[in-house]
């Protein structure tokens, strides 16, 4: 595979088949055409290699272990008559003197592999240390593979890639070189060929930009075929050379969920029996200062998901960060899922995430990018809902939700003349307004109450969806530029920061949202710093003069500047340099003030007195100032 790595690393030219605007392109333009973005030579090299890639089911997958000192391996080996499989990884710092780690093996369902018998091998390597270069081989029927290099990064300051829906094979039906891409079996799956090329391209560009990544988080739908044999799609997914030295914590998406091939290919740590489908259930792991909980939300038994969360939290109660990954975006903004099947578990999961102090939820499913505002439950009672399989059990019933308390069927797309269905659907939508939006400003928040919900766009470009026409009130930022994207997460004991990028047709990397940072400041019983500011009280609430507060905290970690540029402009992190008003009036006028904070427009209730604005304590808390 090394030849492909050298070829695709130089992909810097070409054009995407882009956009659903204009409307004439809507039916065919929502994917990445590898034959265009790849350039002629690179694409032809991949096409010539595809048959060998698509038929190699024995590629190795790496997964984070139970904590940062462990690394999990999984791979197929073809079953040999009279010879047992050898689930052995040779691992160590001296490539000429590696230590053998032995694991377990299980037979693969031959209906998934064209009748050819394979064994799935799972092995865990232990004793890893930070910032260390290791080497490894795996045994396939007693024969060791070529030596691969694996390097750990820092365990104190951890960097992750977060990706959504590679969905190898999802471009089926799209045009390419005068033909429609197809999802046939094996090497004939030209859609998988296209999408694996895009997936590899994204990983290579992302890791060139971020060579110090510890691991990848995938929010589900690694492959496309639902409930069918799809080994060539997994082969394409696992083919990038990057993945030989970078673990992926995968999530079970709806396309992954209905047969066992996912379980064969990935050796997930702390695998539980909660939330199971045929592909497996919930699992969790710790890494650095983070506890990561991965839920299979294709199973709608939320009581089991809560058990998995409780078990995970008990395993690492002092983790600074609690991060959940789910596939369905219960707070997303894509046209296809966010207001239909995606939010079915919202009423149940939101209060559970509140109870267990979940900081961030990473989602996929909607093939669009969004970042929510900080959200928590409204404290009210709501209905509970689930999704079900179709009558044949081969896929999900995409047309209906079900109330688990009444067994009522709720049409997600009621016909215009279906009055009862429309009423049920409207009640379902209203009941899902079960959240409260935390009042914050700026792109850095300190000790927030709410949870941040991210939705990742497609990392491979295999399929894009439109944004919903009206942006929901819980969404802070969203994007659909019809380009593959990925996020970079940087985490230490005090800070969790996420930045999202898209990859242009020419291979350039562009930010599509400001870096959003959650900071955790130590909570203390010591008195807070006294801020000497003029105040006014209106209807029982105290308002503090903006310029006084800015002057009082200037030179501290929470400093901010106040300026006038056709309106009030606040810039965090900058010292206040202007004068402080001298007079302290006894009264003022209540107003609605729209001001700019770090480039974002914010509207607050305020008081205006003698030409100066007074704002409530909640505004300053959002700036990191405690009054």
Q: 133-182, pLDDT tens digit by residue?
A: 999 999 999 999 999 999 999 999 999 999 999 999 999 999 999 999 99
- Using the 8-state DSSP alphabet, how is residue 187 labeled? G
- What pLDDT does 523 receive? 61
Q: Find where tokens 């009522």 sit.
A: 408
Question: If pLDDT is split at 50, 70 and 90, which confidence band does 524 have?
Answer: low
User: In sequence order, what are the residues at sequence separation of 6 or more whose Cβ sits closer than 8 angstroms to the Cβ of residue 540?
Assistant: none
C-alpha to C-alpha distances, 332 to 467, 475, 479, nearest whole angstrom: 9, 8, 11
Decide: helix, strand or coil at residue 62. strand
The rounded mean pLDDT for the chain is 92
Indicate the range of 132-136, 229-233, 465-469, 527-531 predicted with least confidence. Answer: 527-531
How far is the C-alpha of 267 from the C-alpha of 247, rounded, in Å? 11
How far is the C-alpha of 617 from the C-alpha of 627, rounded, in Å? 6
pLDDT at 324 > cutoff 80: yes
How far is the C-alpha of 308 from the C-alpha of 273, rounded, in Å? 9
- What pLDDT does 20 receive? 34
Q: Which two tokens stand for residue 65?
A: 């272990």
Q: 264-312, pLDDT tens digit by residue?
A: 999 999 999 999 999 999 999 999 999 999 999 999 999 999 999 999 9
Virtual CA dihedral for 399, 390, 237, 478, nearest 10 degrees? 20
How far is the C-alpha of 362 from the C-alpha of 562, rounded, in Å? 35
The arithmetic mean of pLDDT across residues 23-32, rounded, is: 54
Question: If pLDDT is split at 50, 70 and 90, which confidence band does 530 have?
Answer: low
C-alpha to C-alpha distances, 205 to 202, 223, 229, 372, 552, nearest whole angstrom: 5, 21, 30, 27, 45
pLDDT at 23 > cutoff 60: no
Q: 105-117, pLDDT tens digit by residue?
A: 999 999 999 999 9
613-619 long-range contacts, CB within 8 A, separation 24+:
613/545, 613/546, 613/568, 614/534, 614/535, 614/536, 614/543, 614/544, 614/545, 614/546, 614/588, 615/543, 615/544, 615/546, 616/541, 616/542, 616/543, 616/544, 617/542, 617/544, 618/439, 619/439, 619/441
How far is the C-alpha of 360 from the C-alpha of 383, rounded, in Å? 24
Contact 246, 215 (CB under 8 A): yes
- What pLDDT does 400 receive? 96
pLDDT at 19 > cutoff 50: no
Question: If pLDDT is split at 50, 70 and 90, which confidence band does 82 have?
Answer: confident
How far is the C-alpha of 266 from the C-alpha of 436, rounded, in Å? 37
Question: If pLDDT is split at 50, 70 and 90, which confidence band does 531 have?
Answer: confident
Contact 374, 440 (CB under 8 A): yes
Q: Which two tokens stand for residue 241?
A: 């050379």
The arithmetic mean of pLDDT across residues 534-558, rounded, is: 92
- What pLDDT does 584 receive? 85
pLDDT at 257 > cutoff 90: yes
- What pLDDT does 557 receive? 85
Contact 353, 487 (CB under 8 A): no
Preceding omega of 291 cis (within 30 degrees of 0): no
pTM summary value:
0.82
User: In sequence order, what are the residues at sequence separation of 6 or more whose Cβ sits closer than 8 angstroms to the Cβ of residue 565?
Assistant: 596
How far is the C-alpha of 87 from the C-alpha of 118, rounded, in Å? 12
- What pLDDT does 81 receive? 87
For residues 579 and 378, which has the higher predicted lDDT (pLDDT)? 378
- What pLDDT does 532 receive? 83
Decide: helix, strand or coil at residue 188. helix
């Amino acid at each position: 595979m090394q030849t492909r790595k050298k070829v695709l690393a130089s992909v810097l030219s070409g054009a995407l088949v882009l956009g659903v605007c204009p409307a004439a392109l809507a039916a065919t333009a929502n994917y990445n055409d590898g034959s265009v973005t790849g350039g002629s030579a690179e694409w032809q090299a991949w096409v010539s290699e595809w048959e060998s890639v698509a038929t190699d089911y024995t590629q190795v997958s790496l997964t984070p272990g139970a904590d940062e000192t462990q690394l999990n391996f999984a791979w197929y080996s073809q079953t040999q008559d009279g010879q047992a499989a050898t689930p052995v990884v040779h691992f160590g710092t001296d490539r000429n003197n590696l230590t053998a780690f032995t694991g377990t093996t299980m037979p693969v369902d031959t209906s998934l592999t064209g009748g050819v018998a394979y064994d799935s091998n799972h092995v865990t390597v232990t004793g890893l240390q930070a910032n260390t270069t290791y080497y490894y081989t795996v045994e396939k029927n007693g024969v060791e593979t070529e030596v691969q290099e694996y390097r750990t990064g820092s365990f104190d300051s951890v960097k992750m890639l977060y990706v959504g829906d590679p969905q190898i094979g999802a471009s089926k039906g799209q045009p390419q070189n005068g033909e429609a891409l197809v999802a046939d079996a094996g090497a004939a799956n030209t859609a998988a060929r296209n999408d694996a090329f895009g997936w590899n391209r994204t990983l290579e560009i992302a890791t060139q930009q971020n060579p110090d990544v510890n691991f990848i988080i995938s929010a589900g739908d690694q492959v496309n075929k639902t409930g069918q044999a799809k080994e060539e799609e997994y082969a394409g997914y696992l083919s990038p050379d990057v993945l030989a030295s970078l673990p992926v914590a995968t999530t079970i998406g709806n396309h992954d969920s209905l047969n066992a091939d996912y379980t064969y290919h990935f050796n997930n740590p702390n695998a539980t029996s909660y939330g199971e489908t045929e592909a497996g259930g919930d699992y969790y792991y710790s890494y650095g200062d983070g506890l990561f909980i991965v839920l299979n939300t294709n199973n709608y038994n939320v009581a089991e998901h809560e058990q998995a969360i409780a078990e995970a939290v008990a395993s690492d109660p002092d983790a600074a960060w609690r991060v959940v990954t789910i596939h369905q975006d219960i707070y997303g903004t894509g046209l296809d899922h966010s207001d239909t099947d995606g939010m079915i578990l919202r009423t149940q999961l939101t209060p559970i995430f509140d109870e267990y102090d979940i900081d961030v939820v990473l989602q996929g499913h909607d093939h669009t990018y969004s970042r929510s505002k900080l959200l928590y439950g409204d404290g009210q009672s709501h209905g509970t809902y689930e999704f079900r399989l179709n009558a044949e059990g081969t896929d999900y019933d995409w047309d209906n939700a079900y109330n688990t308390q009444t067994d009522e069927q709720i049409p997600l797309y009621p016909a215009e003349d279906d009055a009862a269905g429309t009423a049920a659907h409207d009640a379902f939508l209203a009941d899902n307004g079960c959240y409260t939006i935390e009042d914050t400003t700026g792109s850095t928040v300190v000790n927030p109450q709410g949870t941040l919900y991210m939705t990742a766009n497609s990392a491979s470009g295999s399929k894009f969806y439109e944004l919903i026409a009206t942006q929901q009130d819980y969404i802070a930022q969203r994007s659909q530029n019809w380009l593959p994207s990925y996020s970079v997460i940087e985490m230490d004991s005090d800070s969790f920061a996420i930045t999202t990028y898209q990859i242009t047709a020419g291979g350039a990397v562009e930010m599509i949202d400001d870096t959003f940072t959650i900071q955790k400041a130590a909570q203390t019983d010591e008195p807070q710093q006294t801020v000497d500011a003029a105040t006014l009280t209106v209807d029982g609430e105290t308002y503090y003069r903006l310029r006084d507060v800015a002057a009082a905290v200037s030179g501290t970690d929470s400093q901010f500047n106040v300026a006038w540029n056709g309106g009030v402009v606040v810039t965090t992190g900058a010292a206040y340099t202007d004068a402080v008003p001298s007079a302290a009036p006894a009264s003022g006028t209540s107003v609605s003030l729209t001001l700019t904070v770090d480039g974002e427009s914010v509207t607050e209730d305020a008081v205006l007195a003698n030409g100066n604005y007074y704002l409530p304590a909640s505004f300053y808390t959002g700036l990191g100032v405690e009054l």
